[in-house]
Amino acid sequence: MRHQRAGKKLGRDSAHRKALYSNLAGALIEHGRIKTTVTKAKAVKPIAEQMITLGRRGDLHARRQATAFLRSRDVVHKLFAEVAPRFKDRPGGYSRIIKIGPRPGDAAEMVYLELVEDELTPKPRRAAPAAAVPAVAEALPVEDADEAPETDAEALEEPASETDEPAEGESGGGADESADDGDDSAADDEVQ
């Protein structure tokens, strides 16, 4: 059983699989878009994005790590000189998978794995909570300084006087509810 074993085998031994990932990632960096199956694209996408992250670092150690994986100095040079600088402001998500339908021969689901071309436009932070606070403050009536209670005793008396008055929904609601009950019984009689 393959419990807790990450990654796909893709029907290959480890050396063949590593060569496949290296070749697909190199082709993606070199051409910008490759056509492959869904499973291969999902397996190679994180590796290609890791190579672009190495390119963004740009130091000698990152270049040597990329060369060890990609096995091509030309591809590594293109990665560090052209591809990585395009993504210097992007925090991740350098590639995308676009489904294009089944392959005619064996009906395998095919995709384009491509590097993202559009410029990153950072989403503005939601201003709704910050804007809602002033709107609520403006909606509330502002009390004058003359009407404010002078002592704690007066402050305690004012809410008590407000609670003695019945609210709009409490006193008027009883008569309306009884009228509604009569309407419901009349409607029930009509249905029967």
Q: Give the tens place of pLDDT for each residue, 124-181.
A: 777 665 555 555 555 555 555 556 555 655 556 655 545 555 555 555 555 455 445 5
Structural domains in the chain, CATH included, are 14-115 (3.90.1030.10)
CA 149 to chain centre: 50
Mean pLDDT of the region 57-71: 97
Q: What are the φ and ψ backbone dihedral angles of 107, each rounded to 5 degrees?
A: 60, 25
Tell me the CA distances in angstroms from 36 to 21, 44, 192, one per residue in order. Answer: 12, 10, 68
Position 5 scores a pLDDT of 87
Q: Are 155 and 149 in contact, with CB atoms under 8 Å apart? A: yes
**Confidence at residue 7, expressed as pLDDT on a 0 to 100 scale:** 86
Task: Kindly report, residue by residue over 23-38, the tens digit of the pLDDT.
Answer: 999 999 999 999 999 9
How does the average pLDDT of the chain come out, rounded? Answer: 80
